[in-house]
Structure 1
């Protein structure tokens, strides 16, 4: 975080100075931000098209603070990806500029642990966003609900069993329509809360965080 504190951008300085939870604190008490990106495919250069997030702590999800925004792109989008998430080139061209989205997202993530299903995708997207807008690497602390589900239920057959929908179904959570950033973020938050009820009491943040 030292390099961010020395950066010339206030949002990065605030991010570095945020009240970050200690890794030894109980996971059930830590502050989180469930987040999801919709991308133009899964390649390393895939365009960021939509982001949705919702803050939560303990058993409470603050839907009043949930937010979703389309991100501007003027690229020729991958047809297969457009079919999945429904964000076509006309809609993408009307989205907010990345340099407008990035400061708000960094503010929301300050002092919070990112929660996402297949969190490496979201972490990579944030890192690319920060590099593009500020020219820096933004450290992101995260917990992956997919990785946690594999630990909790290691013997399920097939990769489909660990997708977000099937994972939620095992905890009796309702089925949501997938591939909308905000809906998927809320779905990941609810799944994580359900997973916390299955881990040993007093499990620490450090035991669940990705390293």
Structure 2
């Protein structure tokens, strides 16, 4: 049986036709963030999840969603980093409720994440454990897009160069609270808008033009 890692390698499948010719500025975006107990995707627990939609350089605040997710056991450094206590997490909602709501965005939006591989692997594991049908999702990774820009300018990439905070600072964006899923989802969307302006100041480039940056990938979560 193929490993989870080998299955995830299939994420490089072609961008669906529906997205290839859509201008980046006209692409409906779902900016999503997970707060996790650790960076090991095989065991990490989701402690909170949030998302917000945007399009044409505008953020739809009415679409914002945030939920603390029920979790117990070893929370590692999560209470210190994210400010969520064991009591908060025990009172949280079930991850199924959040993931089921996410299904509505699987084909209608391109998902925007900072370090997409981390969150999408965790979501894949969770969706499989919940027995949910496979969902194929087009994603843009703001971290990989920033790496593309830095490498293109022959900038020496330091270890913390592509954190969300440092990426935003590079564009003169204001400091944003971090380690809260909704704050990070909003911050990621703002960063994405700034990156797209840098990529194409005329805002006419189709989404397919981002493929060579390696920041656009297709992930399948759930299923067998």
Q: TM-score range by the shorter chain?
A: 0.7 to 0.9
CA contact (8 A) 2:52 2:64 kept: yes
* Residue 125 of structure 1 pairs with residue 122 of structure 2: yes
Check conservation: 2:70, 2:91, Cα contact below 8 A: yes
Aligned mates of 1:178, 1:20 — CA distance in 2: 35
CA distance in 2, matches of 1:22, 1:82: 39
SS of 1:177's equivalent?
A: coil
Could you say which residue in structure 1 is the equivalent of 2:209? 207
Judge conservation of contact 1:50–1:68 (CA < 8 Å) in 2. yes
Instruction: Provide the TM-score with structure 1 as the length reference.
Output: 0.84
Contact 2:106 2:135 in 1 (8 A): no
Distance in 2, matches of 1:131 and 1:171, equals 38
Q: 1:31 to 1:91 in 2, by over 3 A?
A: same
Q: Where is the strand percentage greater, Structure 1 or Structure 2?
A: 2
Residues 21-71 of structure 1: per-residue CA shift (max 9 Å, x gap): 422221111111000000010112100110010001111100121110011
Unpaired stretches in structure 2, ≥5 consecutive residues: 1-15, 211-215, 219-224
- Deviation digits for residues 85-133 of structure 1 (CA, Å, limit 9, x no counterpart): 1222211111111222221122244410110111112211221221122
Q: Number of residues paired by the alignment?
A: 192
> Which aligned segments of 4 or more residues in structure 1 are displaced greater than 3 angstroms?
none
Q: Take 2:48 and 2:107, find their aligned partners in 1: how far apart are those partners?
A: 20
Unaligned runs of 5+ in 1: 1-18
**In 1, Cα distance between equivalents of 2:206 and 2:82:** 35
Paired residue for 1:49, among 47, 50, 55? Answer: 47
TM-score (norm 2): 0.80
1:28 is aligned, of 25, 30, 37, to 25
Q: Retained in 2: the 8 A contact 1:127–1:138? A: no
Cα distance in 1, alignment partners of residues 104 and 156 from structure 2: 38
Q: What do residues 152-197 of structure 1 show as CA deviations (whole Å, max 9, x unaligned)? A: 1221430211111111011111101110000000000000000011
